[in-house]
Chain A
């Protein structure tokens, strides 16, 4: 049995609860990975190993699944995420310009540590595009100004810290 991930805390209890809810059945892998992603914000390597042992699935296959699905991340997240919806409805309403603005405003063509800029394939609120997702909050009818406002708010927060 793979030993428990080292930094034992309440988050591991949540993971264990998910594992026991599914009675260690291998088909629960994706559900358990969702739980891990939720509680840790990403799926650390030792957690992958722990899940592989608990569900009795070869490590390589666990890695194969975790790296296949875009909602699972194997690296720690940035402190903020700015997601620009690039769904078709948002796209024909100018989402590409917003994405550019977001990257420019964050000064990160390929992501810095504070804010990660992402492009989503569709957030499903197509009637009010372009959409912006600021961490977990969705902004409808977004424009360049909205992007600049949200990025400025991030920066203020990071100075507060």
Chain B
């Protein structure tokens, strides 16, 4: 039996298991917190910063995805400041890549696009950086388009933690980071790839997609993870 913690999120008193994160506790009670690098079933990295929340008595904002609930914690998931920061974070992401929604396979089914709409982002006030990116279409079935990558590393984690192929990794650093397969091999030549396609299913944008698709399936695609994780848990 897990220990229980009682806390307040957005004024709502809730109880949650002591090892739950703020994000888990909030979602369980129907309070939504925007996320991008988080995905149920994968480890958390706290990198996209969209899930930052205010905690009373703490100076710093904390990522809800990795912060555990505590007794009597008072959490605010939304405020003028948080809304502003979230919008700015999204603007930064749009400025960083080459996100052309009209020709994107993920158009209307894209987490980045949805979050931008939710945040009321009607334009980007930062310089578009227009990076010169390549697209790797050497794999039989899959394509990796670096133009649309936001470096959330969900593909890297699913490849490593669920499929255990570890074909994908983040290479380089800073604004010069990119997703790599094996030793910077063309994806088609990456011998460790099992072609399982999980990376496509977890990609929040249209960076990873199946050849020939101009728009993807509109249903929530990462649901499959829940089955795998639950199955693994039952096995273990």
Contacts and interface: CB of A to CB of B under 8 A. Distances in A.
A60 B156 CA distance: 10
Interface string A53-91: 000001111111001100000000000000000000000
Given A58-B192, A60-B166, A61-B166, A68 B182 contact: no
B172 A60 contact: no
Interface string B53-82: 000000000000000000000000000000
B15 interface: no
Which of B167, B169, B192 has the most chain A CB atoms inside 10 A of its CB? B169
Contacts of B180: 60, 63-64, 67
A60 B173 contact: no
B183 interface: yes
A49 B192 CA distance: 13
Contacts of B170: 64
A48 interface: yes
Contacts of B168: 60
Interface in A105-154: none
Interface in B158-185: 160, 166-173, 180-184
Task: Name the interface size band of chain B.
Answer: 10 to 19
Contacts of A48: 183
A17 interface: no
Nearest to B191: A59
A25 interface: no
Nearest to A60: B169
Nearest to A57: B166
B192 A68 contact: no
B173 A63 contact: no
B183 A45 contact: yes
A60 B155 CA distance: 13
B172 A67 contact: yes
A157 B81 CA distance: 61
Nearest to A69: B173
A57 B231 CA distance: 27
Nearest to B174: A68
Contact of A68 (B166, B167, B173, B183): B173
A49 to B, nearest CB: 6
A64 B183 contact: no
Given A67-B173, A68-B171, 5 more contacts: A48-B183, A58-B192, A63-B180, A64-B169, A67-B184
**Considering the complex of A and B, which 7 residue pairs feature the smallest CB-CB distances, nearest first?**
A58-B166, A60-B169, A64-B169, A59-B182, A67-B171, A59-B183, A63-B183
20 contacts: A49-B183, A58-B160, A58-B166, A58-B167, A58-B169, A58-B192, A59-B182, A60-B167, A60-B181, A60-B183, A62-B183, A63-B169, A63-B180, A64-B169, A64-B170, A64-B180, A67-B172, A68-B171, A68-B172, A68-B173
